[in-house]
Amino acid sequence: MGTSVLSERLNNGLLIFDGATGTELYRKNFFVNVCFENLVLTAPDVVQSIHQSYIDSGCDVLTCNTFSANANKLSRHGLADQLENICTAAVKLARKCAHSDTLIAGSVGPAGELTEAYKNCDRTQLLAAPAQIMARAGADFIIFESLETLEDARAVAELSLQLDVPYIVSMALDENGCGINSRIAFTDLLSALMNTSNPPAALGLNCGNGPEATLSCFEKVRNLANLPWVVQPNAGEPRKIDNRTMYMNSPEYFTTYAIRYANLGAQGIGGCCGIGPAEIAEMARSVRPLAKGNAASAKPVIEIAAGVEAMAEVPLAERSRLGRKLANKEWITCVEITPPPGFDLSGVIEKSRICAAAGVDIINLPDGPRASSRIASMITAIEIERNVDIETTLHICARDRSLLGLQSELLGCACEKIRNLLFITGDPPKLGNFPASSGVFDVDAIGLTEMQKKLNCGIDLGGQSLKMQTAAVIGVGLDPNAIDQEREYRRICQKVEAGADFIVTQPVFDPEKLLSFLQRIGHLHLPVIAGVWPLASLRNAEFMRTEVPGVVVPDSIMQRMGSFVDKDAQKAAGIAIARECIDSIRHAVAGVQVSAPFGNVHTALAVLK
């Protein structure tokens, strides 16, 4: 495949790369004193089985088992004369497992410290030889991995003129954007790499760091080069939590950060040392829909047919009690309760009754939070409003329904007088008890907002008159902690333009960050309800910090929660932190939405006292 194909795949979608081959070989009892690259000749079935496991995990790119296949490194095992055989066999093994649209990447690692036999050898030729062999053998592109020295960067720039296949340069940088061992700045490496008339098709980050530090690095370097990025972290270092040593390298943890890479604009995501098929499988299921979700139209999705006139909207104060409070600028209190996984709603109804008795204005109902399967939120809302004198705000998620399904849902809400709606694009599906689940993402939250706005004016999805109109109060989400602040700002402006009546934020743990963002969007003149999450324990804080997209728990709060050993004391601290947060932001928001951690509404009510 030519350069245009690789570039097209990177620019028009999101490529899923595989994980570590060396780690999987080690797990299969091949120890580090073995030349892993030579296993393509001596144990081809094992190498092929690893490639197959990554294909089964959903990857788009298979990387050849050739990281250290250069004459200098092979000479340490007495295998320098096997370079061509190794590189050729590696490509063929990967190709055997590939689908018709799978890309095969020939891996070329650093030249390494030169042995006595190669001390006078040209580094350019050391790296060029395996690259050229794999290109001839049928690799779709070459990926130069773990680059961090100026010598290797200059060598790649020079040899690029000898390549007739596209190539990617992936660097091993620390969280500050410098070579892990060399300490060479990214900008210096980039300058050396771009000194060629045949620049790379993409840049990348691999190895060196775990998911969190790689994210910090990616934030710093991503805008310094106008090229696509491929991000492949390793599994990371252990952490101390509750005096236990824990390795934060579960598939879920890796996937959480992969989603953040995608949201920052990474166009290829995979894994390096310690990342295996399980991590790639969950990541692929969760990240792949983002390519479609990010492309979901934020432009108007409805054109009003000729001769059709829109009705004037029902005034905000007349649509619901929430609408009246918003219009009158009254303080609003909401408690978020998650619908149950079964179909017994008695517990949710009782919790709603307790909240109503305590003076709470609204019960907020998520729609499949964190891509979990639960009873329909609309049914939950209907039953709560039938049995308790309290309004609900129903989340409507774009992830799980087509455009027609979404319109049906919105009309159903109008029929049952569920008037308060919060539109979200939705978390991508996760691997779990429903591995076949996939995201629809026909439209995003911006398009959903416009759909409802048109229904409020009596216009359906096809631009035709409904002969009646809905009266929904339209809410949209805001993530003040978004990694890409410019993108979040643009999207909230588009949501308001599409017809939003109010905003609800992700849980806030850093009041200053929220206040700063609110100041920036002050010109929108839209009421904001701040999300507040009372941390139940240190473990809950760690989970929120590492596993929930859009939530940032500052170090100061982690330290404060960790200063208490007793879980009751930690819970009390979580409530105190939530109260302090509300006190800090009360002057700038229209109200608060307090989550009930683990369904405990008494904790939420303790925050509101």
Task: Please tell me the predicted confidence (pLDDT) of residue 547.
Answer: 72
Residue 188 resides in a domain: yes
Identify the domain boundary among 271, 295, 319.
295
Q: Do 262 and 378 sit in the same domain of this protein?
A: no
Q: How confident is residue 374, by pLDDT bands cut at 50, 70 and 90?
A: confident
Burial (CB < 10 A; 0-12, 13-18, 19+), residue 422, is: buried
**CATH classification of the domain holding 515:** 3.20.20.220
Q: Do 86 and 161 sit in the same domain of this protein?
A: yes
Return mean pLDDT, the chain. 90
| pLDDT average, residue stretch 43-60 | 96
Task: Tally the residues of the chain.
Answer: 609
Residue 413 resides in a domain: yes
Q: How confident is residue 91, by pLDDT bands cut at 50, 70 and 90?
A: very high
Q: Do 480 and 595 sit in the same domain of this protein?
A: yes
Which pLDDT tens digit goes with each residue over 406-427? 999 999 999 999 999 999 987 6
- The C-alpha angle with vertex 480 and arms to 477 and 483, in degrees rounded to 5, equals 110
Which pLDDT tens digit goes with each residue over 533-549? 999 999 999 888 877 76
Handedness of CA 438, 440, 444, 448 (dihedral sign): negative
Residues 6 or more apart in contact with residue 96 via CB below 8 angstroms = 48, 51
Task: Please tell me the predicted confidence (pLDDT) of residue 432.
Answer: 42
Determine what percent of the chain is predicted with pLDDT higher than 70: 92
| pLDDT average, residue stretch 552-574 | 93
Task: Please tell me the predicted confidence (pLDDT) of residue 443.
Answer: 82
Residue 305 resides in a domain: no
DSSP string, 194-232: T-SSS--SEEEEESSS-HHHHHHHHHHHGGGSSS-EEEE
In angstroms, the CA 442 to CA 551 distance is 26
Residue 472 resides in a domain: yes
Task: Please tell me the predicted confidence (pLDDT) of residue 401.
Answer: 81
pLDDT beyond 90 at 3: no
In angstroms, the CA 407 to CA 164 distance is 51
Q: Do 386 and 278 sit in the same domain of this protein?
A: no
pLDDT beyond 50 at 599: yes
Q: DSSP letter for 175, please.
A: T
In angstroms, the CA 22 to CA 36 distance is 7
Q: Do 487 and 566 sit in the same domain of this protein?
A: yes
Q: How confident is residue 439, by pLDDT bands cut at 50, 70 and 90?
A: low
- Which tokens sit at 394? 């129903």
Which pLDDT tens digit goes with each residue over 445-468? 999 999 999 999 999 988 999 999
For residues 148 and 208, which has the higher predicted lDDT (pLDDT)?
Answer: 148
In angstroms, the CA 307 to CA 193 distance is 60
Lowest mean per-residue pLDDT among 256-260, 528-532, 560-564: 256-260
CB 511, CB 502: distance < 8 Å = no
Which pLDDT tens digit goes with each residue over 296-309? 444 445 778 888 88
Residue 346 resides in a domain: yes
Task: Please tell me the predicted confidence (pLDDT) of residue 404.
Answer: 87
CB 606, CB 576: distance < 8 Å = no
Which pLDDT tens digit goes with each residue over 383-411? 999 999 999 999 998 877 888 889 999 99
Residues 6 or more apart in contact with residue 50 via CB below 8 angstroms = 21, 24, 25, 28, 65
Q: Do 336 and 271 sit in the same domain of this protein?
A: no
CB 533, CB 505: distance < 8 Å = no
CB 589, CB 528: distance < 8 Å = yes
Identify the domain boundary among 244, 277, 295.
295
Identify the domain boundary among 235, 267, 295.
295
Q: Do 409 and 526 sit in the same domain of this protein?
A: yes
| pLDDT average, residue stretch 335-339 | 96
Which pLDDT tens digit goes with each residue over 62-75? 999 999 999 999 99
Q: Do 71 and 206 sit in the same domain of this protein?
A: yes
Residue 52 resides in a domain: yes
Q: Do 86 and 213 sit in the same domain of this protein?
A: yes
Residues 6 or more apart in contact with residue 439 via CB below 8 angstroms = 289, 292, 293, 399, 400, 426, 428, 429
Q: How confident is residue 248, by pLDDT bands cut at 50, 70 and 90?
A: low
| pLDDT average, residue stretch 338-351 | 95
Task: Please tell me the predicted confidence (pLDDT) of residue 301.
Answer: 59
pLDDT beyond 50 at 2: no
Q: Structurally, how many domains does the chain consist of?
A: 2
pLDDT beyond 60 at 146: yes
pLDDT beyond 80 at 295: no
**CATH classification of the domain holding 115:** 3.20.20.330
Q: How confident is residue 1, by pLDDT bands cut at 50, 70 and 90?
A: very low
* pTM as predicted: 0.65
Q: Do 160 and 236 sit in the same domain of this protein?
A: yes
pLDDT beyond 70 at 371: no
Residue 593 resides in a domain: yes
Residue type, 87: C
Residue 78 resides in a domain: yes
In angstroms, the CA 170 to CA 553 distance is 30
Q: Do 276 and 376 sit in the same domain of this protein?
A: no
The boundaries of the domain holding residue 58 are 3-295
Q: How confident is residue 430, by pLDDT bands cut at 50, 70 and 90?
A: low
Q: Do 443 and 340 sit in the same domain of this protein?
A: yes
